[in-house]
Structure 1
Amino acid sequence: MRDLLDKIPLFTLVLIALTLGLAPFTPEPHVWQKLKMLAAGDLVRPIDIFDLAMHGLPWLVLAAKLVLSRPRSV
């Protein structure tokens, strides 16, 4: 998994997270809407769960790349 993340440029992941992760941009990003639904306990329909996964996955992959690419302290 780490090898795969190392092969993907950081710029590409940022671009994917900003476009797919925040689409649609108006009136509010889907990921934000789904996170609010999750916090309220309203995220029950399969399409909403799929939407959260689709729009949230780019952010999780970007976070994983950033965490795994930081230098290790001794």
Structure 2
Amino acid sequence: MSKQLTPAQGRALRQIRAKGEEFAYNGISRATVAVLECRGLVTVTWSVRTWTARLAYRNRSMCDWTARPVKGA
């Protein structure tokens, strides 16, 4: 794996550092956040919410995350 970040990963990292904290569904994909977490650039808190849709009686799930930059990285 290359040590260099892709343009999308670089933009995401700059966005997270600028805001200090970034949440899911604000324009950054789960895959991008996962790569940044694996490289030790951000810490991510993951959670999954599951509910049953009333009319369809089917389970639905949504993955949420919160990313914070690692100090000194």
Q: TM-score, normalised by structure 2?
A: 0.30
Tell me which protein shows more helix as a share of its residues. Answer: 1
Q: TM-score, normalised by structure 1?
A: 0.29
Higher relative contact order (CA 8 A, sep 6+): 1
